[in-house]
Amino acid sequence: MSGERHPDAGGRSPDRPSARGGPGWLRGARPKAYTVAAVNILAREVLEGSLPPIWVQGEVTGWKRHVSGHCYFTLRDRSARLRAVMWRSDAQRLPADPDEGMEVRALGRLTIYEKSGEYQIQVNELDSMREGGLWRVAFEKLRAKLEAEDLLAQERKRPLPRYPAVVGVVTSPVGAALQDILRVIETRAPWTRVLLSPAKVQGDGAGSDVARAIRLLARSGVADVIIVGRGGGSVEDLWAFNEETVARAIVNSPVPVISAVGHEVDFTIADLVADWRAPTPSAAAEHAVPDRRAIERDLRSLATRMASGLDRWVQSRRQRSSRSRETLTEAVTWMVQSRRDAAATLGDRLDALSPLGALRRGFAVPRDEAKRVLRSVHDFRPGMRVDLRIADGVVDCRVEDLREEPL
Amino acid sequence: MTAGTTTLEQRLGRIEAIVARLESDRLELEEAMALFEEGVAHLREVDQLLREAELRIERLIAGPAGSVTSEPLPDATSGGPPREPA
Contacts of A19 by beta carbon, 8 Å cutoff, 6+ apart: none
pLDDT of residue A395: 87
Tell me if residue B49 falls in helix, strand or coil.
helix
The alpha-carbon gap from A165 to the nearest alpha carbon of chain B, in Å, equals: 5
In contact, A281 and A270? CB cutoff 8 Å: no
- In the DSSP assignment, the letter for residue B34 is H
Q: Do B15 and A163 touch (CB under 8 A)?
A: no
CA count, 13 A, side-chain hemisphere, B54: 5
pLDDT value of position A1: 43
Listed residue (A291, A181, A165) closest to A228, CA to CA: A181
Which A residues in the span 281-300 are in contact with B, Cβ-Cβ below 8 Å? Answer: 292, 295-296, 298-299
User: Residue A296: which of A246, A346, A231 has the closest Cα?
Assistant: A346
**C-beta separation of A8 from A15 below 8 A:** no
Q: pTM of the predicted model, to two decimals?
A: 0.69
pLDDT at A21: 55
Neighbours of A153 (CB within 10 A): 10
ipTM of this model? Answer: 0.75
Please give the backbone phi and psi of residue A231, each rounded to the nearest 5 degrees, phi first.
-75, -175
User: Can you name the CATH fold of A35-129?
Assistant: OB fold (Dihydrolipoamide Acetyltransferase, E2P) (2.40.50)
Residues of A (335-364) whose Cβ lies below 8 Å from B: 346-347, 350, 353-356
Chain B CB contacts of A389 under 8 Å are 33
CA atoms within 13 A on the CB side of B3: 1
Give the model's pLDDT for residue A185: 96
> In CATH, what number does A160-290 get?
3.40.50.2300
Quick one: A14 exposed, middle or buried, by C-beta within 10 A (0-12, 13-18, 19+)? exposed
Buried b (16+ CB within 10 A) or exposed e, A250-286: bbebebbbbbbbbeeebbbbbbbbbbbbbbbbbbbbb
> Are residues A191 and B5, on separate chains, in Cβ contact within 8 Å?
yes
Separation in Å, CA of B2 to nearest CA in chain A: 7
SS (H, E, C) chain A: CHHHHCCCCCCCCCCCCECCCECHHHHCCCCCCCCHHHHHHHHHHHHHHHCCCEEEEEEEEEEEECCCCCEEEEEECCCCEEEEEECHHHHCCCCCCCCCCCEEEEEEEEEEECCCCEEEEEEEEEEECCCCHHHHHHHHHHHHHHHHCCCCCHHHCCCCCCCCCEEEEEECCCCHHHHHHHHHHHHHCCCCEEEEEECCCCCCCHHHHHHHHHHHHHHHCCCCEEEEEECCCCCCCCHHHHCHHHHHHHHCCCCCEEEEECCCCCCCHHHHHCCEEECCHHHHHHHHCCCHHHHHHHHHHHHHHHHHHHHHHHHHHHHHCCCCCCHHHHHHHHHHHHHCHHHHCCCHHHHHHCHHHHHCCCCCEEECCCCCECCCHHHCCCCCEEEEEECCEEEEEECCCCCCCCC
Which one of B9, B22, B33 has the shortest CB-CB distance to A162? B9
Q: CA A287, CA A319: separation in Å to the nearest integer?
A: 49
Domain boundaries, chain A: 35-129, 160-290, 294-398
Report the distance separating Cα A340 and Cα A83, nearest Å.
87
Q: Which of A309, A84, A39 lies closest to B23, judged by CA?
A: A309
- Per-residue pLDDT tens digits of chain B, which is 86 residues long: 444 444 688 888 888 888 888 777 677 777 777 887 788 888 878 888 887 788 889 999 888 877 888 888 865 554 444 444 43
Residue of B36, B62, B77 lying closest to A306 (CB–CB): B36
Give A247→chain B minimum CA distance, Å.
Answer: 21
Return the percent helix, strand and coil in chain B, to nearest 5.
55, 15, 30
Query: Which residues of chain A carry a pLDDT beneath 50?
Result: 1-12, 14, 322-325, 327, 337-353, 357
* Cα A131 from Cα A265, distance rounded (Å): 16
| Residue A313 and residue B22 in contact, taking contact as beta carbons nearer than 8 Å | yes
According to the model, what pLDDT value does residue A158 have?
A: 95
pLDDT digits (tens, 9 = 90+) for B4-17: 444 688 888 888 88
For position A407, what pLDDT does the model report? 57
Q: What is the chain B residue with the closest CA to A345?
A: B47
Compare CB distances from A305 to B23, B27, B29 and report the shortest one's residue.
B23
Rg over alpha carbons for chain A, rounded to the nearest Å, is 41
Which residues, listed in sequence order, are joined to residue A196 by a DSSP beta bridge? A169, B59
Instruction: With CB atoms and an 8 Å threshold, state whether A354 touches B82.
Output: no
C-alpha span between A144 and A138 (Å, rounded)? 10
Given this model, what pLDDT does residue A330 score? Answer: 54
The pLDDT, as a whole number, for residue A296 is 84
Q: Which strands sit side by side in the sheet containing A193-198, from one edge to the other? A: A276-278, A257-261, A225-230, A166-171, A193-198, B56-62, B68-72
d(CA A367, CA A396): 10
The identity of residue A35, as a single letter, is: T
Radius of gyration of chain B (CA): 20
Separation between Cα atoms, residue A28 and residue A25, nearest integer Å: 5
Fold agreement (A35-129, A160-290): no
Within 10 angstroms of residue A233's Cβ, the number of other Cβ atoms is 15
- Contact with chain B for residue A25, Cβ under 8 A: no
- The Cβ of residue A403 has, within 10 Å, a number of other Cβ atoms equal to 5
- Which residue of A lies nearest to B58 if distances are taken between CA atoms? A195
- Asked if A194 lies within 8 A of B56 by C-beta distance, the reply is yes
